Each structure stands twice: as structure tokens, then as C-alpha cells.
Structure 1
Amino acid sequence: MATSAQQQRYSNISVGSSLTPSTNSSWLSSSGLYAFGFYSVTNGYAVGIFLAGIPEKTVVWTANRDDPVSPINVVLLLTNDGRLILQHENGDEIVIVNPNTSVASASMLDNGNFVLYNSSQIITWQSFDNPTDTLLPGQHLSVGKEIFSSVSETNPATGIFRLKMQSDGNLVQYPVGAEDMKNNAYYSSHTYGMGNNISLNLDNNGHFYLFNGSSIVSNLTPGQYRTSTIYLVRIDVDGIFRLYSRSLDRQGNWTKEWSSTEDKCVPKGLCGLNSFCIIMDGVTRCECLPEFSLVIPGNWSSGCERNFFMGGCKDNDQNVSYKIRSLDNTVWEDTYYALSKNTTTKEDCENACLEDCNCDAALFIDGICRKQKLPLRYGRRLQGDDSNVTLVKVSTRSSFTQGVPNNSANEIKKERHLDMYIIGISLVALAALILAISWVYVHRNHVGTYTISNNRNVEMIDDVGLRAFTYAELVQATNEFEEELGRGASGTVYKGILSNDKIIVAVKRLEKELAGMREFQTEMKVIGKTYHRNLVRLLGYCHEGSKWLLVYEYMSNGSLADVLFNPETRPCWEERIRISLDIARGILYLHEECETRIIHCDIKPQNILMDERRCAKISDFGLAKLLMLDQTYTDTGIRGTRGYTAPEWHRNLPVTVKADVYSFGVVLLEIICCRRSVDRRLSENEAILQEWVYNCYAARELNKLVGYEEVDTRTLDRMIKIAIWCIQDEPSMRPSMRNVLLMLDGTLDIPVPPCPYSFQCTI
């Protein structure tokens, strides 16, 4: 926002001026208190604003924080066209500031604000409008703005916590990647409804307050006048928001004046999925659930995963059995799928979870048993509260081998592989014998079809919680299939209203032959037990003769294709990032977290639906297994949809979950660029999205991908690199969906991806 230059001393920095890390490394404010320029970080130098007038040289702002490190031979230059850039020896440029307007000079002000001026001495860009993790006196956090913690004390890249000034008047802290929802918040100013133009402010006396433009609506600190004292507020690495003061004496130290909490386990997301926070002797640490271990060793925010095999709901193998491990005094996000009735003791709750194959854990709180599925989030241990117990279901035959010598562990694995091989052969032989006997029996009794009696239908409903509809019910609900919502290879979807409870539903009428009735029944059980906020929920089914119908929850905003490729409904950059995370979480659940691993085989925008809050949900995830093999074939003889199918389909290679990773990569590029993967209306260089994106990435011309839209360039670069890794031709080179999600969250570093060998890469 352009504002008049403040009436204070500053040293003028003219266009054409430059800095290097080794000589003339910074531009000082007139008092010498603040400096803009290079400061030392691990393995190089970063550009930022720091307090040069004190021994610690505390950094308060970092440029390009998600990729800040530069070598010693780089030059920081205020160009003649008004850009602030880093210029490498080979001529490569990294843009720090591009104000898109004329710039006549720059200045490092005495209040810690670095500004660019036009010829009329009007500020055209300022660091105060683009905070990183710190706010200084005179700086404010306006509506919709956020600051983010750093990864560590020595790494200024975006960390895992954020503070947001919301339009509803609340100042709220969330984990990075979590939606702006109450259950994700861990600090709030409780100023909801006090105005829609509130900002967070700090003055020179340490007065920290919320202001609505005319009056103060909340004082976070009263402030205290002190001479020769500086103040700053920061969201620290641990997720806690603190106000600090420091005397300008050289012997002074930073002192905490105020904090959003004193409990270091309060920040949600400090410990990742399936882990919980504990404080011992004042030191915070994370621990995994019993018989779980870290996904990424040494990285607690990556979360924990099982060290044991978890059988499916329909496993009757006597060798697969479970027990309960207890965690006392622990609390988690309460996302229970069922309350267990008639349980008054912890032992009752344990038995209820053991008897329910959908139950991964149970929270026994104040005599109430809440059954949960994994993952568990936001875990922490409470002090002196014995009314909360977490009951974790684990295998009695754990594959946990920590502490076992490597050779012994390898021998154990070999023995288990041999056992599994023998068991597998035995099961195949037994299945073949049963099929042969069944075939003889069926043909001897001249049975041509397989039907389910009413009693069998009731059993099926009990097994999966799905409702069996009659065809007449669905004809009435859809008003004789009047309103068509969409049409695909597997069938047509109609809008319906259930007569009894007036719930709006989507009814898919399958138009091609399904696998046999036994297979349909089996897959209904699998799909009916899947539940995730990023999957479209299957509510029921109908099968009468040749009529096959599935009833889903209704998604009011259509498909991602409807939203993404329509200029009038195109989501903003932040929403596109959120949608990408939604889709990644849904695919990860299908691949790793639901009872039976599901490969979707047809991830594309048309199969991603949007609810009333534009939350993305994956649909048709069960049809890959329900439909006959020719159902999703294209004319090239591959399953899926042209443009989204992985190369292994074309090469007749085994298809794994990495085929979905490839399709996700294509969809991610479509989300980033808001265009279809193949558009023959464009030039030959741009018609194939994947190849065009890689060439733009290699040429460092990512701005071409988003046109004139203002996006965070570091996030754009990260998203593009993730997508290119996902669309590698070799499946083994593609990341797992778990790692994709960690990269999207900013938890994992992303190496430079190679050009897929099937591309016509021009660079």
C-alpha cells in the first residue's frame, strides 16, 4: 500500500547500488540500529533485516525465507528498473522485490522498516507490509495477514506454526496446513465480532493491542515506558507468540514480557500424527504411540507410523490377534466415529475396541468410551489427570525390531517372508479347491445367477453401515432421474432427495456390467468402511436385476473441474494450496490408512468433488475395483483417463499406488496453472501442460505459469517441484503420497527434479 514517507532520518540508497557478503555487506539505518543486507547462516548467507546496534544482531525479517541461502560470490542489487535482486556469478537472478512500479530510491529506516520510494518520495513497497515471523513497534498485522514461525533457530525457512489476524476480529494461532477452524486453533484473542477491520499493533513502549481503526478493542499488554529499550513480538520456533524487550546497553539481554501461553505443549502440531507432547523437567519432547515409530527419524513433526502389520476387518487368520496398550493422562483431538454403549470401566472399553475391527484406538474419558480411527492428532500428556486414558490397539505379533542386531533382524524378516510365502501358496490351493467344489455344486443344481435374500441384505447393511434402497425409492428420490449432475465412463449421476429424512443425495446409475454379485458385496463392505473428510461418503446402494445404483453424499459445488477451469469460480492461490492438501490427504488415506489398500486408477478433476465449503473430496474411489476390466479402458487399452494415466499403463508393467501419484502430479499442475493438462488451442510449446511447466521451471520463468496473478513465489516453486517429482516416468522415482503431503506441508526438503525422459524438454 502506497503511503507518504515518514518524517524521520534515513540514508538514501540510489538505484544501481549493490552489496556483497564479503565487503559492503549491509545498508544501515541513520542511527545504525537496524541494517538491511547479508547475514551469516549455515552454509552461506541470507538477506534480511537485523539489529546491527546490539551484539546479537537479532534478525527480524528474511527475504525469500524458504530458499534464503546464497554463496559468498552473490551480489545484492537495486536495479535501474526498480527491482531488488540477487545476482549470481553465472548471471542467474533471484528476485527479492519486484514492486511493478517505478522506483527512485530505497532506505533502511530507524524503525526497522526497509522501504522503496518512487520519484515523489511515496513508499511503493515496505518490509512492514510483508512480515515473516516478527513484528516491530509501529508495524501492524492487518486483516487476513499472517506471520509464520521459522523451522529452527538457525533456519529462517517457514516453520509449522502461524498467527493470523482474521476478518471475524479474532487473532488466532494454528498449525501450518490446518484449516482456519476452531478445532485446529490453540490460541485466540477472543475478540470475535468486535469488528471486521481489526489489526494487531505494537508501540514503542511495549503496548501490544488490537485496534479497530477508531479504538482499542483489547489490550494484550499494558506497555511500560522505558528509555533506551527496544521491543519486538515473534512467533517462536515452538509455536508460542511472545513479546520481548531489550535494553540497548551492550550488556543487555532479551527478556520475555508476555507470551500467548506458558505451556509448551499447547501448540497443536508440535508433535505430528500419532505422537504426543510431554514435558519432563521443563523440557518438551514428543513420544510415539506404543509400538509406533517416527516416519522420518529425528523429525517429530513428520509423525509416527505402526511398527506392526494390521490385518483387515475381514481377516479371520488365527495368527493375527490384537491387544490393547494404555496411555494414561493423554488427550487428543476428539474425532470419534462411535460411542461405545454399556461401557463403564476401562476394561469394557478395551474389549469394545478389540471386538470392533474398525477401531484403532479408544479414548476413555470420564467413563465414556470413544472409538477412534487413526491417525490421532494433537496429542499431549496432562499432569495429574487420571480421568483420560488412551487405549491403542496393537498386534500381538509385532514386527518391531529395534534393539535386535541387524543380522538377527534380517533373519527374522527372511523367516517371516518364507512363512508368508508358504501361507500364500496354501491359501491359493485351498481357494482353488473351494472354487472347484462350488462350480460343481452350482452347475449340478442348474443355478445360473446369484441373488441375495432379504436376510442377506440386512446382514450386509449391518456389516458396513450402508442402506439398501429399492429401485422404486431411488426413482422417487430423483423424480424419475430428472436432474442430471454429471456423466462419466461408469455412469450418470442424478440429484435426489430422500423422502423420509429430506437429505439431498447424489445417485449414480451404473451403466456397464459390474463384476459378479459376490465381488460387489465384498467391495461394498470395503468401501462402506472407508471414512475420511476428503473422500465422498457412500451412503447406500441398490441392486435389482440389471439395475445397479450407488447413493453418495451430495456435493453442492460440483467438481474441481467446474471450479478450476471457470474464470468466474477460479480459486485464489491460498485456496488452491488448500485444495491440493485436501486431495493429497484423501489419496494417502486410500493408499495407507484405510482397511484395504485402494488404488483409485482415475484421479482427475472430474472425480474430485467440492462441498459447500469448497473442501475437496475424492469420488469413485471404489469403482476401480467394482467395475469390470473394460469399464475404464480408453481406446489405447489402458485404465483411467487420457492425460492423467501413468506411463506404466502403456508399458504393460505392474500398476501400483504410484500410478495415483502420477495422476495427482498432473492434477497438481492443473491446480497451480488453472488450465487443463492438454489444450490443443494453445501453441505447440504450451499445449501439453507437463512439458511446458518443466521447461518454464528449468528456464526459471515460473511467472509464466500463473500470468499476472500475485502468488508466493517460494510456494509456487515448491509446488512445481513436487508435481515434477510426481510425474516422473519411473514409478520408483515418484514419492509416496505420505512424502508428497510432507513436502506440501513444507516439512520435507525437495531436491531439484530431473526432466522426465519422455518429455521433449527444451532446456
Structure 2
Amino acid sequence: MKPSIISSSLLIIFLVFTATATISGYTFKAYITPNFSATYLQFIDDSGTFLISPNGTFKAAIFNPGSQQTSFYLCIIHAASRTITWSANRGRAISSSGQMNLTAKGITISDESGRNNPVWSTPPLRSQVDRLVLTDMGNLLLLDPSNVSLWESFRYPTDTIIIGQSLPVGSSLSSSSSDSDLSIGNYNLTITSSDAILQWLGQTYWKLSMDTKAYKNSLSMVEYMAVNRTGFYLFGSNGTVAVFLVGLPESNFRVATLDNSGHFVIKSFSSGTGWKQEFQGPDDGCGTPLVCGRVGLCNDDDTSSSSSSSSSSSSPVCSCPQNFHVGSGNSGGCVPSNGSYSFPYSCDVSNNDSYHNNNNQSNSASSIVSFLNLGNGLDYFNNIYTDPVMDSVDLSLCQDQCSKNCSCLGVFYKNSSGSCYVIENELGSILSSNDGANQDMFGFIKVSIGSTTTNDDTRDAEDGGGGFPVVATVLLPITGFALLMAFLFFLWRRSIKISKRKQDLELGKPNNNPHSSGDLDAFYIPGLPRRFDYDELKKATDDFKTLIGSGGFGTVYKGVLSDNAVVAVKKIVNIGVQGKKDFCTEIAVIGNIHHVNLVKLKGFCVQGRHRFLVYEYMNLGSLDRTLFGGGPPLEWQERYDVALGTARGLAYLHGGCEHKIIHCDIKPENILLHNHFQVKISDFGLSKLLSPEQSGLFTTMRGTRGYLAPEWLTNSAITEKTDVYSYGMVLLELISGRKNCYFKSRNHSIDEDSNSSSSSTSGLLYFPLLALEKHEEGNYMDLADPRLEGRVTNEEVEKLVRIALCCVHEEPALRPNMAAVVGMLEGGMALPQPKMESLNFLRFYGRRFTEASMIIEENNDNEGGRREVNNNSSSMTSGGSQAALVSYISSQTVSGPR
């Protein structure tokens, strides 16, 4: 008998024996066919159940969670525990008379008042539906006549996954608003290629990789999350490798749920004992963003839970920080004690959001912005998972940047490092602790003073309970009419100017408007990207308010275009005297370069003296923030992916596109990271915008000296091998997690016992020389970032060190091209041995580095008294010493013996 006949026979037997199922005395079909409809009222005696799995474990029902009798959903329910494992119409509940319909096209759910306008439906299917089946695993399936799955609920998880179900990379769980309201809440669990992350309205508050109960088993890329009978896992390599695992007691039924309080909970069920919680993230009492409400102060009282199980969280103690008191009404947290202060709205959040429907917030556009001090020794839940927006700045600059950014609602300032953290878009709870940690961290909340909308606690007292002023009744109509007439006059004058400008262009008359771009219409350049108007970019960036970066070519601002696309707007400086047409010709070349590892140029602006480039926005920022910041360290696989992505992008610039482009400024600041650490190189081709006499700017650009190839200062030819050298220096920084020219404090312990010349002076580390010396010894593990804590092997570090040393050969001809580097990283090309004779210049650099360091330290010792008197002198800080040291080396040694 053929296998197909056997399979068909078994399917018929299965359907015969599972055609019905019985539970609690009621008999149900195990599958239903099209042209079936169900309502709660139709199956009210069975709690809305219309379909049950063959073994009776799961049921499908029109269900009202919490028995509130107003909001009903199509749900899959674990029968024994009455737990919802999946729901369909989360976005819009139906009434008790709402209906579920199964047709040959799929499932639709509609309310009684809108039968022809479904509130939810399955997506378009590739063939007609033959039946709807609920499996013993709890998966709702639509099958075609050939028993092929057309749609299944497992592929559309809500807030829960169960055994047999997976959550792939890029997908997420979304919490419900409450136990009785299944609409999507504000918490998300997202799976990335390296982690599982909890976020509240975009702010991260937990990562599995940082949970002490999770064990990292592999450096492979994560592909999906799952729970099974033995534990909780993040799997990779097609499910053959557990990247992260949490071992749990064996259980036949287990769920992983993101609950409406923001906790990710794993629990198991047995008929004898009921539910047992086995894992919770975060597990500390103050770990969730709104545990004490907005600006509520949460103190995690560990003593109350010292005897509890590991899966239980400690009991939080809530209060209000200084300058705040408990708000009345539905504010759900703390409000300013001074009634004339109010919380401003974030410009990125709709004022109609239910989260903001209270009288404690106002639009700061009509008020003066100030900051209320929360006190010291506090922290914010998001700070540990994000980098500061600025380092080594004073508090006034930190607050000034927040004042200019309408998305910023508060700042935290670390006094010891000058680090500035911001709270954007939403305000959560503030963290405190009994252990006295973070005593040098200060918190400030932005408030509006004298706003037209005041706190609900003081509004009646301020207006005296009086009615609308009579004078306002008279003046407002007059003022409104005057403003309308002025606006109409402005439109009339503008239309006349536009018409005249068009006539002048048609007649060939010159355009004398310095802000006009009309002269660009006189010529056509193939491939030129979209041209933006200056006023359009000014509006998109809110008058260039949010500064997100700066460099040798100019400053970068965050903007939102009229189509809601988020962009990075770069204001170009130092472009010489070339004309608009020459500038646009170069932009056309850059705009036609497309590669997955290159930032996309979306458009440009040329008006008068203004030159702007508009790029796609990279939401994870630049590599230097992630690599050198105070957040969680990059895992080795993530570093390797950054190295490979950067190499691929450079290889394309050097040989894959029509016009060879030498980047000339490869450094971590120009390597940007997008979702899931996707690597994109920025600022490629901008060196072409510099006139020849300005090429020397590269030797003085801030932050690039450590990446300059020797040929820059020896009048040698600049080729693509110059980029290879810079790439090698970046690769060394990826390995160590530190800047190559690393000026340590006197009490720093790294390499204290090393006999290498690179560390012969206290407080000094020239990492390229240390890498050369460790390569000669064959001891590569000393070079790896110590924060990786053994999660990398000697062989893995050796591979990148050898590639990096080959890239920084003094002679450009000995350096591999970037295509060869890609081959080495991908494993298709054998690793070469670095040429030691071409790396001896690093020893010369190292000796001069030591000499320069001694000079700087001697100067600092001599200036010690004055430094104590004037702590604001940046030249006396270690950062100033380092800058002077690097400057000394660059000018003294780069053109050293050849």
C-alpha cells in the first residue's frame, strides 16, 4: 500500500474517533466546517465554548474574562485552569451578541451592530478553508481539503506562549491592559538575535542576558524562544543549540506570559496543586516601570523577602521624592508639591493617549521650563540598559540639552563621570535602595512653570472658583479677528512672491533670494536623490533642536518628516567653494550607492549657504556609544557581526560600486547600529566634498587621530588601503572594548603586572602595541574585553587579532584589501601571519607614547595645586591629559622612521 493511501486512511480513522469530545457532561465536535457561526448567547450554558480539542485539554470559546459581561473575545482556554492562552480580537471587544463566523475564506468576528464590518479577521488565505481544528497542544488551525495548514494561532502569539509554540526573532508578546480587558497594554517582550528584552513604551527595563538565573550556553545567534517540559530556552542553529537556558522542574503543561503588570512569568500547572510560579523577570520589587506610579519613589525592601523563594519578588515600599507629593484623582503617582508646576507633554506622545488623560500635565509651549530636584542616590530603571547621551559634561549642559528636546521629560546626572542620562517620552517610577548605591547620581524632572493648565490639587484655589473673566470675553474675539486678517495678508504676499519667482525663472532672470533653490531647477543630474527645502528640514527637526551627533563634517539632528519617517539631518560644513552643481553631482554619486551595510541617503538640501544631507535614522546610535559606554557589554558574536558588516560595507565602497570611494574616516563614531545590531557605515563619500586644500582637515578632526594611517602625515598616496588601516584599529577596539589610546587612572588594575613596554608606566596603555606583544607570546585571552568573563575562546580572539595586525601593516601594499578581510572573517580564506617587520613601528609609537605620558603626568603633578583650586579646568582632567598626549604623539611620531 502506498504511503499516501496509508496517511489518508489514518486521517479518516482519526476523524471518526475524534469527531466528538466530551467535557463536563457536554458533547462537542473536535472540528467545525465553513458556514458556521457562534455567539456567546448561543453557547451560554457552556461558557461560550463551541470547540474542544480531542483530549479535552483546550477549548475555543466566545469568552468574557473577569465575568464582566460587557467585553467578549474569541479565546483559546486551558480547560482545567480556565487560563486564556490566546485571544483574537484584542483590539476591539464584542458584546454578548457578537458573532464568530467561519467561511471558506477564513474567520471573521463582528459585533451585532456591524455584521458587514468585522472587528477582526484572519488574513487572506492561499486556498479555501475545509475545516477549523483545535489541536491537543492548543493550536487553532485552518486546514484546506488536503489537510494543509492555511493559518494557525501559534503564529500570532498575544501575551502567552505554551509548550509546542515558539516566538521567533523579531516578534514579541504584548501585555493585556488588565485581567478583564484584553486590549494591548504598554509592555512588550521582544526577541532579538542575542537576547529577550522587556520594554515599557520603548524603554527597556529587563534583559534575559542580565538575569542571574539564566545561563548562556552558546555564542550562536538566537532564532526563537520556547518553553518545554524541562525549561525555558532561547534556541539557535535551527533549534539544535540552546543559546540561553533556564532549567525548570519537569512539567507537562507550562506557560510563559507577559502579565499586565509588566512581569514576564513562567509557571506550570498540575491538577493536584494548581499553578506554580517558576520564573519571573524582573524578580526585584522595583523592577517594573510603574510599580509606584509616575515619579513615585520605589524602595526595594529586601528584608521582607529574605525567606521567600527565588521566584518571588521582594516587597516594594512606595513614597514620593523631595519636591513631590502623592497626586489626587487618577494620577497614579506623585506630582509637584508646588501647584504652579506641572508635567509637560512629550512631543512624541499624543495628548489623547489614555495614559496622559489627567490634569497634571500641560503643554510646555505656553510655559517656562524648569527642573525639580529629586535628590541624590536615586536612579531610573532604564539607565542600566542605555548609554548616557553625553559624558564628561556639567549638569547645566545636561539640563540645557533636555530643555531643548521636547521629548525629554527629565535627566539623571552622574557627578563622578559627568554622564547625562535622559528620560524620554514617558515618566516611570524612580528607584531608591537601602544599600547607599549611586550616591553620586542626581535626578531632575522637567516641569512647566506658569502653564495655562495647572495641577488638579490647586486649580480651584488659584482661580478662586470664579467664572470666565469678562475682559477675556471682549478681547478674545477682537484678537482672533486681527490674527486671522494678518494670516490672510501673509498668504497673499507669499503667493505674489512665488508667482514672481516662477516668472523670473521662466524669463531666465537671476534669483537673488539667498535661501532659494530655484537655480537647481535649471539643470538635471541623473540619480539625484530627493531635494528638500530648508524650511521643510527646519520644521522636521523642530528648528534643529535635537542634536544627536557631531563630527568633522558637521552636526547631526534628529528629525521627523511629514510622512512620519524618522531621519538624521546632517548639516555639512567645510565643503570648500564648489558650486551647487558640483555639490549636487557628488551627492548624486553618493545617493546611488546602495548596500545593506551603508546608511541610505534619503535626500539633500542646497539653499543659499545651507548644505544638508538627509539620512535614514539609526535607532541604536553609533558603535562608540555601545562599545565604550557604561551599558551591558557587546557579546563576542555581536562584535564579530559588527566587524563583518563593516568589512562588507567597505569592500563594497572600494570595489563593488560604480565609483570607488575611499571613506577616509573609519572610526566607531561612523559605524552606526540599527535594529538587532545591523551595521551601517555613515559619512561615506563625504571626503569627496572637501576641496584639495582642505584635505588636511582629516589630520585635525577630533576623535580620528587614533585611526589615521601613517601615510596621512608622510605625503604618501591615499588609497583604499588607508581605510584598511583604520578598520584594523577599530577591530582592535572591538576586541578590547576600550579605546586604543587608553589613558588609565593611577589605581587601574588592568595589565599592572605586565612586563610589556606598553604598560611600563602607571596609567598608560597603548593597546596596538600590547596586541603585537601578546601575539608574539601567543597569549590572546589577555586582549579580550574582561567584561566578557570567559565567554570567548583563545582561538576566537586570535582570529580577529591576526586580521587586525595584518590591516595595520605600516606598508600599505602589505595590508589585505577589504574583500580579502571579508573572506577571512567568513572563513573562506586562510588567515595570514602578520609581517612583524612591518609592525615594528608600533614599538616606536609605544615608546613615544610612554615618553609623552611621562611629560603629561609631570605637568599634571606640577599643576596639581591649581587643579584642586579650579576643578572646572578641562585641560587638567584625565581626558584633557589624554587629548594632549594623543596630540603629542600624532605630531611627533607618525612621521617617524620608516
TM-score (norm 1): 0.48
Higher alpha-carbon Rg? 2
In proportion to residue count, which structure has more helix? Answer: 2
TM-score by length of structure 2 reads 0.41
Q: Which one scores higher on RCO, CA 8 angstroms, separation ≥ 6?
A: 1
